[in-house]
């Protein structure tokens, strides 16, 4: 596990990731930049700290998680979007980043 800073639209989350997750979080494989939205929902215990742009402050521990919807809709062949939501700030409720969880259909 490696502590990695994942960029979101309203800040970042520093989380413990496996090598596989680190690769998955990069938009461009050759670029050392990691994105929250490229990964599925992070476990609370994996989030070490986070930064909120609105508060302009760093906080220890996980963000809040706001579930937007559980659509269960087919987004591509064999791929179902089962949950969509945001990582939000405990203090001001701003959105720090977004996540989507997919499931493979049979």
Instruction: Return the closest-CA partner of residue 95 out of 34, 59, 49, 53.
Output: 53
Binding track over 70-89 against Zn ion, x by CB under 5 A? -------------------x
Strand partners for 79: 76, 104
61 touches Zn ion by CB under 5 A: no
Distance of closest approach, residue 52 Cβ to Zn ion, in angstroms: 3
Distance of closest approach, residue 79 Cβ to Zn ion, in angstroms: 33
96 touches Zn ion by CB under 5 A: no
Indicate which single residue of 41, 48, 54, 82 sits in contact with Zn ion (rule: CB under 5 A). 54
H helical segments located in the chain: 19-25
Indicate which single residue of 55, 65, 81, 101 sits in contact with Zn ion (rule: CB under 5 A). 55
66 touches Zn ion by CB under 5 A: no
Question: Could you tell me if 85 and 66 are in contact, meaning their C-beta atoms sit under 8 angstroms apart?
Answer: yes
| CA 90 – CA 105 distance, rounded (Å) | 35
**Dihedral over Cα of 8, 43, 91, 68: its sign:** positive
Binding positions for Zn ion, rule: CB under 5 A:
52, 54-55, 89, 91-92, 94
């Amino acid at each position: 596990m490696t502590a990695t800073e994942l960029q979101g639209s309203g800040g970042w989350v520093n989380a413990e990731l496996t090598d596989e997750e680190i690769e998955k979080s990069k938009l461009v494989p050759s670029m050392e930049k990691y994105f929250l939205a490229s990964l599925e929902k992070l476990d609370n215990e994996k989030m070490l700290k986070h930064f909120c742009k609105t508060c302009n402050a760093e906080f220890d521990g996980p963000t809040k998680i706001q579930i937007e919807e559980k659509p269960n809709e087919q987004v591509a062949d064999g791929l179902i979007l089962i949950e969509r939501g945001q990582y939000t700030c405990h203090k001001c409720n701003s959105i720090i980043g977004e996540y989507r969880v997919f499931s493979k259909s049979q």
